[in-house]
Structure 1
């Protein structure tokens, strides 16, 4: 999937942003105006991500603060939040792990950090956890003062871009368009795409050894299968499995502090990228109204994101996080990537796009890239969208099964971002003067672009 789907689209977005030098909304004026709704969809998806992703960073900040103790609080079962089901199997003989057993790390996460036991589900999420509210406020304060002056003042565009790749290699979030728009026109974006993708794949491969080594050891200690240790419990790998392993290492306090500093740093970098995508897109689209009011716009955006995150800070906030993670991004971002590839390679024209790349790099993309952009990548993404919709497994978190009405709400959330694509198409065709002529010309351009694309593959 990465070779034929992720990397080609990653390269495509870098080239688009660098050539047209604008954000995710206004870039479609240069490519195919009728697809401008893609830019609005990208901004809404990025907004949904900010509603839950920063809450996860707030959890990490809570862990970071809790790590400053001689004995880590998730090491044993002697704390006020522990239950009779708490089982500390490390360093003990004759301990039997049952289906009802819970590790100290799991109970610290669920009963002390989240306090999810005080919520019965999405119908009753309960009140806001004030400790997490303070953590989130601090996170957004850092975010604001990191973004209010803009990318050009920081001088580290590709540090943010590289961090974003570790969050997700796939394009569609608008981050690559935003950050690459600040690059020099002749920057070698092809090299950037290849090197960054290779580093991402290599680190993922190496980290796999670490992850499964830890999971295998824990499975052996519990006398259970690996899949039972790594059951889907939200971000359980970060907040249960790794802390549990760290707690049983020499110098556990030091390594816990370092681990959560790393998590917070990577999370903030990804947040910077996601919000910068929204900021660049909106400021480039409305320069007369907002170009001299960046600080105020960033402040308003951060406030909206903070208020939108409040539901994830409740006792049942983890249920909301899971819902947003599954439906707020999910198929919507894949559909955006699919339509991006179609709009650029079929409507804008693969020859035209190749000429743009040649103007920047001095050479046109090879046959492999053109084949992927025209056919393979869209086909991969279409298959993923259809299969995920037809074979969606039941949504669960811990022992909670999401009710049918919440799944419906999830699909509404997902559609609320994607719907702006057809809405803008209808608006463009109906309300633009001379729209019938434009439709006719648009169809001719489409036909020529498709014929042009097919001729390259013969």
Structure 2
């Protein structure tokens, strides 16, 4: 044990050496039992030679001590001395944590995905299956991960190794998915950064057809088709916004005369303007993450709040546009017949799942830096509600503008509405180009996209960093270098998405990197915790933190409803993959087929993450000893709970009690 005095530039650390593993077990067990039964905690009595610990049952431990002079503010010295392990950092304030979780959950998908899915699946009636899936599926999983991360105080690899060694591979799969996501998600922010740069002008470049990259078929929104001198063939009309996106920004390998593209067969050269914007994004990410939650917790005060300010401005602006109310009617008009379709319920389940984001290791990582007694139950309620409310609010922002465009272009909502990058880089910018003060609205819209994306990147990469540093604690003193290495790795991997064919590479990753494998990952998580670790044991863990056990609703959801919810999504997603081969990738009227060798590459990406699950199952089984039944029991039995040192124990005399994590690692290894 280590009794550390209040922080000073240099102080004496009193280190207690355990005479046997049973001594440490008695201390930990006494602490946990006292919390479970609301009895008095163990008593600690320290003199100059030893520490006596009374667990309240007449059983004591006498532990010899030694003193070591060490600079407790020097993490490197502390980590390398072998005397103490650097204490796990915590959030400076509760609001840092809440903003980080909100920033992760509220991402680009809330803007470009939810409104269109709502419109396409019954309008206002879609909110019924959405809320049902939220209550019985998304929210229980969200609460589960926040509570689990806070109790275990570890990243995704270490957590699942403790919960059920057989599912250790789940953590590695999560890290693979996180790296794939970083390869393409940040490129979308790089696009937004280039749009932002291009917006600092009096006339938006995508609002006219007088640019070098425009074709003879170019037509802009304010142009009247009747007197257009450039649109010789109205059937081949191409909007100026599309040409800016595909020809200027992406410089895509597309032949207008033959309406064809080499697709992924020839991705072409790196587009340096995109790669430079991508570099700027990663530099911002690095300096926001390099000091851990101490730095990222401050960055989110800007990146998590600015989008709401801009959403409010865009909402007010949208409601003043002609035709905006008609657009909102399309958004909210209920079609209750749609509720009879299985596809509507599948869309609701998928949307709530990917919106809240369990399974990416982020919620585990962020909550692992909380204080042990933080009310994670209230956090789950508040942050998940804010996420869903933001999705609903963004629908008004989007459809008020879509209604305006329908009125402006004399088109139906079905012709104008879009989702994904098509909404935020084609439809919305085209609408902005027709407004007064267009450059201003373009600038704030792109800033909103960038800040929404940055939050998710901070959290996603922090999940990987937490997993790495918990696996190899000695690296914590070199966090800045490890973050730099991770950023460089992600940047190099993302360069493939900055080529002329990078749009197709990005679409391939978007189709196969996460949508299918993450469902399998979370299903395994749910089974590991509910059926092997045990819902009752997990409820006891929560009681230790919060002082009360989860209600019967949560326990039923975790054990039965959530696994069924995940199995339903998994089944429907893989059915869609088998029948359709993923979302089609469209460039103008050309559609890149997701079949043949392209689909094989996609499947390789898909299985490259979940393959770790059976690999580590086999590895754990082979390393276990005994008969077949004994081996199965070993690899499905949870490892000892984390030491109370990780939960901020405070000993008598206002001295902080820490149990060396090096001993914890030995316990975990011996338990395997």
CA contact (8 A) 1:109 1:239 kept: yes
CA contact (8 A) 2:166 2:635 kept: no
How far is 1:147 from its partner? 1.4
Structure 2: distance between partners of 1:95 and 1:89? 13
How far is 1:251 from its partner? 1.0
1:291 aligns with 2:291: no
Structure 1: distance between partners of 2:494 and 2:459? 18
Farther-moved stretch of structure 1 (401-410 vs 334-343)? 401-410
In 2 relative to 1, CA 23–40 (structure 1 residues): closer, same or farther, beyond 3 Å?
A: same
* Secondary structure of 1:400 counterpart: strand
Q: Mind listing any 5+ residue stretches in structure 2 that lack a counterpart?
A: 1-132, 255-260, 308-351, 639-672
How far is 1:263 from its partner? 1.4
- RMSD of aligned alpha carbons: 2.5
Tell me the residue number matched to 1:250. 436
Farther-moved stretch of structure 1 (353-362 vs 42-51)? 353-362
Structure 1: distance between partners of 2:266 and 2:480? 37
Structure 2: distance between partners of 1:271 and 1:17? 19
Counterpart of 2:424 (choices 222, 230, 238) is: 238
How far is 1:48 from its partner? 0.2
CA contact (8 A) 1:167 1:270 kept: no
Q: 1 or 2, which has the higher strand percentage?
A: 2
Structure 1: distance between partners of 2:393 and 2:619? 49
Tell me the residue number matched to 1:176. 363
* Secondary structure of 1:353 counterpart: helix
Tell me the residue number matched to 1:406. 598
Farther-moved stretch of structure 1 (143-152 vs 168-177)? 143-152
In 2 relative to 1, CA 223–329 (structure 1 residues): closer, same or farther, beyond 3 Å?
A: same
**What are the Cα deviations for residues 58-92 of structure 1, in whole angstroms up to 9, with x where unaligned?**
10110110001010101111111111222223363
CA contact (8 A) 2:213 2:247 kept: yes
* Secondary structure of 2:207 counterpart: coil
* Secondary structure of 1:22 counterpart: coil
Tell me the residue number matched to 1:306. 491
How far is 1:2 from its partner? 2.2
**What are the Cα deviations for residues 360-412 of structure 1, in whole angstroms up to 9, with x where unaligned?**
11111112211111111111111111112122335422223224211111011
In 2 relative to 1, CA 275–292 (structure 1 residues): closer, same or farther, beyond 3 Å?
A: same
1:77 aligns with 2:209: yes
CA contact (8 A) 1:152 1:182 kept: no
CA contact (8 A) 2:496 2:505 kept: yes
Farther-moved stretch of structure 1 (155-164 vs 366-375)? 155-164
How far is 1:153 from its partner? 4.9
Counterpart of 2:263 (choices 105, 121, 129) is: 121
* 1:313-332 superposed matches below 5 A: 313-332=498-517
How far is 1:13 from its partner? 0.3
CA contact (8 A) 1:81 1:108 kept: yes
1:205 aligns with 2:406: no
Structure 1: distance between partners of 2:529 and 2:540? 13
Tell me the residue number matched to 1:131. 273
CA contact (8 A) 1:126 1:315 kept: yes
* Secondary structure of 1:309 counterpart: helix
Aligned positions, number = 444
* Secondary structure of 1:284 counterpart: helix
Tell me the residue number matched to 2:136. 4
Q: Mind listing any 5+ residue stretches in structure 1 that lack a counterpart?
A: 447-458
How far is 1:222 from its partner? 3.5
Counterpart of 2:287 (choices 142, 145, 151) is: 145
Structure 1: distance between partners of 2:627 and 2:485? 36
CA contact (8 A) 1:311 1:317 kept: yes
| Structure with the larger RCO, 1 or 2 (CA within 8 Å, 6+ apart) | 1
Structure 1: distance between partners of 2:292 and 2:606? 29
**What are the Cα deviations for residues 123-152 of structure 1, in whole angstroms up to 9, with x where unaligned?**
011111011111111111121122122114
1:419 aligns with 2:623: no
In 2 relative to 1, CA 246–437 (structure 1 residues): closer, same or farther, beyond 3 Å?
A: same
Farther-moved stretch of structure 1 (364-373 vs 11-20)? 364-373
**What are the Cα deviations for residues 161-211 of structure 1, in whole angstroms up to 9, with x where unaligned?**
979999831201111111100001111111111111111111111111221
**What are the Cα deviations for residues 92-145 of structure 1, in whole angstroms up to 9, with x where unaligned?**
374799553222111111111011145520101111101111111111112112
Q: Could you tell me the TM-score, scaled by structure 2's length?
A: 0.63
1:397 aligns with 2:397: no
1:105 aligns with 2:241: yes
* Secondary structure of 2:358 counterpart: coil
Structure 1: distance between partners of 2:277 and 2:251? 16
Counterpart of 2:622 (choices 424, 430, 446) is: 430
Q: 1 or 2, which has the higher helix percentage?
A: 1
Structure 2: distance between partners of 1:276 and 1:168? 18
CA contact (8 A) 1:166 1:200 kept: no
Farther-moved stretch of structure 1 (290-299 vs 90-99)? 90-99
CA contact (8 A) 2:220 2:241 kept: no
Tell me the residue number matched to 1:381. 566
1:228 aligns with 2:415: yes
Structure 2: distance between partners of 1:440 and 1:342? 16
Structure 2: distance between partners of 1:157 and 1:330? 28
Max radius of gyration: which structure? 2
